[in-house]
Amino acid sequence: MPKQKDLIELSYLSVAVSDMSFLGLMRLLEAARAFNQKHGITGILFYDNQEFGQVIEGERTSVMKVWKRIQDDKRHHRIELLEIRDITEHTYPDWLLRFYGGESLTKDYPALAQMVGGMDKFSLALLNKMRETER
């Protein structure tokens, strides 16, 4: 029998040190995406009003590696872990970036549409998690 995968989901909130531009978000997405793809990490990063919310999912050891990279990144602070939980399968199809205004960006740059977008069903679970948390 194939070994059961040890999958976990990790979510956190943080505050950007300075307001992120589209270009800044694209740079972050690019660096994160390369690492995540290589390590089978999927999830969603949401940005609004200088606040990040993120869910990452994958093999436990890979997720903990990404978590370390995230905590080491000086572009944000006040990082608050929401939850680490065991999961049986991936919820997110890919590595997604969502922010208000994302739709208009993908109208101009259709090639981005797979990764970048406005609010969709994938954003809702994360937004609910963010709302539940008292800051």
Among 50, 61, 75, 87, binds ligand FMN (CB under 6 A): 75
Asked if 17 touches ligand FMN (CB under 6 A), the answer is no
State how far the alpha carbon of 68 is from the alpha carbons of 47, 121, 127, in Å. Answer: 20, 28, 23
> What whole-number distance in Å separates Cα of residue 132 and Cα of residue 127?
9
* Interface pattern 41-70 for ligand FMN (x via CB under 6 A): ----x------x-x-x---------x--xx
Which of 32, 44, 63, 96 is close enough to bind ligand FMN by CB under 6 A? 32
Q: Which lies closer to ligand FMN via its Cβ, residue 26 or residue 105?
A: 26
- Backbone torsions φ then ψ of 90, nearest 5 degrees: -70, 140
Interface with ligand FMN, residue 13, by CB under 6 A: no
Q: Report the residue count for the chain.
A: 135
Which of 5, 6, 22, 31 is in the footprint of ligand FMN by CB under 6 A? 31
Confirm or reject binding of residue 28 to ligand FMN (CB under 6 A).
yes
Burial label, 105 (beta-carbon count in 10 A; 0-12, 13-18, 19+): middle
Q: 5 is written with which tokens? A: 């995968």
Q: Is 58 helix (H, G, I), strand (E, B) or coil?
A: strand
The contact set with ligand FMN (CB under 6 A) reads 28, 31-32, 35-36, 45, 52, 54, 56, 66, 69-70, 73, 75-76
